């Protein structure tokens, strides 16, 4: 199989995120998409009046830009789509969203070692 530059640039990592005893398996782009997202986050102004709902939507939007797939399911066993509005409306505490974001950042900084996969 030939070396695919585009695939190498993507740098896909796998991560298992543990939240309240539930394990969420994700596959995310730790390459160009992650770098672009970091630039976007660094350029954002802090909104002192941001509501919890707005914070969930903002973080969900950021996560959906880099997460390629996940195994999240609703109570009926249906897959939850990786769309910002769907992810934000799950009713999970803000700690879920911020914790997942931190876990991805830590995994990227460690070279993708948390999931041991690329």
Asked if the structure places residue 82 within a domain, the reply is: yes
- Identify the pLDDT of residue 102: 93
Q: Which residue ranges of the chain lie beneath pLDDT 50?
A: 115-118
pTM, full prediction: 0.81
Joined tokens for residue 9? 């640039």
Joined tokens for residue 57? 């939507």
What's the per-residue H, E or C state across 71-99? Answer: CCECCCCCECCCCHHHHHCCCCCHHHHHH
Asked if the structure places residue 118 within a domain, the reply is: no
Residues spanned by the domain of 102: 12-40+51-109
Asked if the structure places residue 115 within a domain, the reply is: no
- 16, β-bridge pairs: 25
Three-state DSSP state, 44: coil
Give how many domains the chain has, as a whole number.
1
Q: Can you list the alpha helix ranges (DSSP code H) found in the chain?
A: 5-10, 32-43, 52-66, 84-88, 94-109
């Amino acid at each position: 199989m030939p070396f695919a530059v585009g695939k190498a640039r993507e740098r896909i990592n796998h991560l298992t995120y543990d939240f309240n005893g539930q394990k969420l398996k994700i596959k995310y782009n730790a390459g160009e998409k992650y770098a672009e997202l970091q630039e976007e986050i660094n350029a954002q102004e802090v909104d002192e009046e941001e509501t919890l709902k707005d914070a969930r939507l903002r973080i969900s939007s950021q996560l959906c830009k880099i997460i390629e797939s996940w195994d999240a399911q609703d109570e009926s066993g249906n897959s939850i789509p990786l769309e910002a509005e769907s992810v934000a409306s799950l009713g999970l505490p803000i700690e879920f969203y911020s914790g997942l974001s931190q876990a991805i950042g830590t995994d990227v900084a460690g070279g993708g070692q948390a999931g041991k996969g690329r």
